[in-house]
A and B are shown apart, each in its own frame.
Chain A
């Protein structure tokens, strides 16, 4: 593997300033993504940021790279297509909890079991922000939102546990209030060969008055500070994934090495499809015709 050459973070400076609410957790994620990509040494021209729809899905517009700002819930398949088409590219998916764990959860699970080399950063604010405050798949039980005026009655999804059992090979949690740790986790995810999920707490300062910076500040602790924690052990990783309440772990929860989808596909092993010859070999074509005779 070639040595990683860190790039200046200014290279990723976007054309447009974010229009998120002042104080939005997504600012921290944006900054951490730039830092992570710079640290991983991915040039903007080789980086494709794919998002869905939602406040956080506006992110590709605020960073300099290639990108697709796709449909609500469909960022994962679009990113899958980009990655399969050109394995020279680094593909990062960004979006929110509604986009990824709600409308897009089917794609999320299937992408993980494929173990494609993708990095998925979910800006998890446990609320629908762009539509002004309805319950999301990660909203806690009892929380009052516009769509749950008497309190949410549905159990929230546990994204980390789901990722571990679905076949993701790099599972982390980050928090906007800890941008440096988040940048390290993102850089690690980009460098990791396989599907990486980063569930990033990104508080919504406008519509979620429960899961605030103060809420997280009191509760989060860093896994890298835990002596002897082994992210390669799925049992202990699942235990940490389920930890919620007074203490909430952030950092790298789980990481294993497994063959990626790309490395097992016989066609992709020959190199990126975008570089393949578009002309079919005449001998191959004639053998296809011969099957019909």
Chain B
């Protein structure tokens, strides 16, 4: 493990301030010039539950939360029990020694840092209990070899709107932790070169929002829905500053239609939601296509179907976005890969929407939208292109003749006009219509006109495709295996490739951003040279590879699919590639770690907080028709055996609770 790549896990319950603690640590590292990436595995509860966040800090750019655990900040007993054994040799475990104890075997050469929180905080006077986190962060800064000045600066800025006393308390708490670690431990040995280039630490949702306002978005509508709500929060917070009207509507039907009204009237407008809300917006997407109103929709996927996994990630809404609304109409679908790309794609989306007068859908997912990572400061700029397309601002009917809003043109684009303009009056209809917007829906039977109108609309997509950069192979040429993905998985696939290439498997990636219109010819040419292809997707049916096959005729050799709610780790992809190449079919059996999680669920529902899963062993069928995991359930205090759970290896069924 290189000593310039550090993964810190923070575990606790909802309400423990895990996200904020991670942000403080990440920004501190980022101010020193390091890179950071974090992913928070949280639950749909406001208080309680189990929250597990991993923050990875690197000397070089890190593209995922990685697959290591070098340090643990445990905020409750549960987190010690679950994660302390995962901390790798050379790492450290930090916890509040006043409340928690290390009651579980850990690996060799792992430093334990029991923090005497009350004693350390005493000199600061009465402080809120959450301050234990700040002490732990200070200790972590020392152990990780990070600069104390950075965290002092971040805390000072974070609480700049509060009193000097609050700032002093926070910096003091961090200092107390830092000094305690200095006295009682040695640093873990990380070696950093601090460039002090201050890198922004940004989530996909923040990047969408900032790209939108930089790109001229002045109207935003939404209905709260995880994991898209971050955009609403950002927009509402910055509405006045950025001159954006932000409207929370009564439902997603209203959200989509109000955005269409604003787009029709001439304001760059955007709305965002997740899969369920997008389902409600569906009819309106077709309205935007028919009226030729420019609107940007953001669909932040979470685990489906139905309410599904509200706080978990998945890429299973591609079919929905692709097929939303009845009839044929042009739409553009863009799947950005990382926060920088979210910023760029938002800018691009508004230009495409106005140029081609159609709905543009940005498809993201929980992982991309909610995880923060460092990007280069120069990646964020207000100096972005703004292209409003063919917009008629003046017309003289006497001289130029009657204005035709939906003029049949060779390019497919009919110059647009905005309400309030003299001499260009028209009605934008949801019914089929002629060049002037007059309905032909009930005309018996204007086949020719309908045909030409439909052809004109769809032609816009051919033109739009020329504006979009074609996909390309990333990584070594002539690879033995090419990993194919789309959207948010680009970074983790990139890191999996590095692992594969380091272990002697020549691998590269072909990653897609533009789902529609699709670079069919370019993709076909690239795929012809690929020796073996594996589709890598966060869904259970390979939605993108089906689209790829429809567009190019190329059938991927294999799939690596994940649909358990948690994002890929690079080693998981690399391992599955190795297994595929060695001809081993992927096992769908429940693993030992998964059996532990299933046992935790059973304990939570049927038993009590005083017990936890202990030793796990595999046993033969024993009359269950399948092998089973025997999970010991032990008492948290003292570890006495309370009973045993039997969990099916193949089915995952929890067969029996057998009390001791």
Using CB atoms and an 8 Å cutoff, list the residues of chain A in contact with chain B: 15-16, 19, 44-46, 48-50, 53, 58, 60-61, 64-71, 73-74, 76-86, 88-89, 106-107, 110, 265-268, 270, 273-274, 276-282, 284-285, 287-289, 292-293
Contact = CB atoms under 8 A, between A and B. Distances in A.
Nearest to B234: A288
A81 B438 contact: no
A66 B201 contact: no
A179 to B, nearest CB: 23
A292 B206 contact: yes
A67 B436 CA distance: 12
Contacts of A73: 253
B427 A68 contact: yes
Contacts of B200: 289, 292-293
For the complex of A and B, 3 pairs with smallest distance between CB atoms: A81-B261, A278-B216, A85-B265
B222 interface: no
B463 interface: no
B320 interface: no
Nearest to A286: B382
Contact of B266 (A16, A78, A85, A288): A85
From B251, B260, B263, name the one whose CB has the most chain A CB atoms within 10 angstroms: B260
A154 B331 CA distance: 42
B261 A80 contact: yes
10 contacts: A45-B420, A66-B420, A70-B430, A77-B258, A81-B262, A84-B247, A85-B261, A265-B245, A288-B238, A292-B201
Nearest to A271: B243
Given A61-B429, A77-B253, A77-B261, A285 B419 contact: no
B244 interface: yes
Interface string B375-418: 00100111000100000000000000000000000000000001
A271 B206 CA distance: 27
A84 B253 contact: no
B251 to A, nearest CB: 6
A273 B386 contact: no
Interface stretch (B175-183, B283-291, B540-548, B625-633): B283-291
Contacts of B436: 15
A81 B258 contact: yes
A168 B606 CA distance: 52
B259 A81 contact: yes
B210 A81 contact: no
B171 to A, nearest CB: 18
A82 B258 CA distance: 8
A177 B300 CA distance: 52
A74 B266 contact: no
Contacts of A278: 216, 218, 268, 386
Nearest to B375: A292
A78 B380 contact: no
B30 A81 contact: no
A267 B426 contact: no
Contacts of A276: 218, 243
A69 B427 contact: yes
Interface in B239-277: 239-245, 247, 249-251, 253-255, 257-269
Contacts of B260: 70, 78, 81
Interface string B190-212: 00000000111110001000100
A217 to B, nearest CB: 32
A45 B394 CA distance: 12
B219 interface: yes
B149 interface: no
Given A48-B419, A66-B419, A82-B261, 8 more contacts: A58-B439, A61-B427, A76-B254, A77-B257, A80-B258, A84-B245, A273-B219, A276-B243
A94 B382 CA distance: 41
Contacts of A265: 245
A224 B306 CA distance: 54
B386 A110 contact: no
Contacts of B216: 278-279
Nearest to A278: B216
Nearest to A266: B240
A110 B250 contact: yes
B266 A81 contact: no
B265 A274 contact: yes
A88 B420 contact: yes
A83 B258 CA distance: 10
A134 B200 CA distance: 59
A77 B260 CA distance: 9
A19 B284 CA distance: 26
Contacts of B429: 61, 68-69
A287 B241 CA distance: 10
A50 B243 contact: no
From B244, B291, B423, B429, name the one whose CB has the most chain A CB atoms within 10 angstroms: B429
A209 to B, nearest CB: 25
B421 interface: yes
Contacts of B267: 85-86, 273-274
B420 A67 contact: no
Contact of B419 (A64, A86, A280, A288): A86
A270 B245 CA distance: 11
Contacts of A274: 265-267, 418, 420
Contacts of B284: 71, 74
B262 A110 contact: no
Contact of A78 (B241, B251, B258, B268): B258
A74 B427 contact: no
Given A61-B427, A289-B200, A45 B382 contact: no
Nearest to B388: A278
Nearest to B247: A84
Nearest to A75: B257
Given A85-B266, A285-B214, A71 B257 contact: yes
A9 B468 CA distance: 49
Contacts of A289: 200, 210, 377, 380
A293 B258 contact: no
Contacts of A107: 250, 253-254
A270 B241 CA distance: 12
A78 B257 contact: yes
B27 interface: yes
B561 interface: no
B30 A67 contact: no
A46 B438 contact: no
Contacts of A65: 425
B218 A86 contact: no
Contact of A89 (B206, B213, B263, B265): B265
Given A81-B265, A289-B377, A267 B239 contact: yes
Contacts of B426: 66-67
Given A15-B436, A70-B287, A70-B430, A81 B419 contact: no
Contacts of B439: 58, 61, 69
B430 A82 contact: no
B420 A282 contact: no
Interface string B209-234: 01001101011010000000000000
A293 B269 contact: no
Contacts of A77: 249, 253-255, 257-258, 261
Contact of B382 (A50, A78, A106, A280): A280
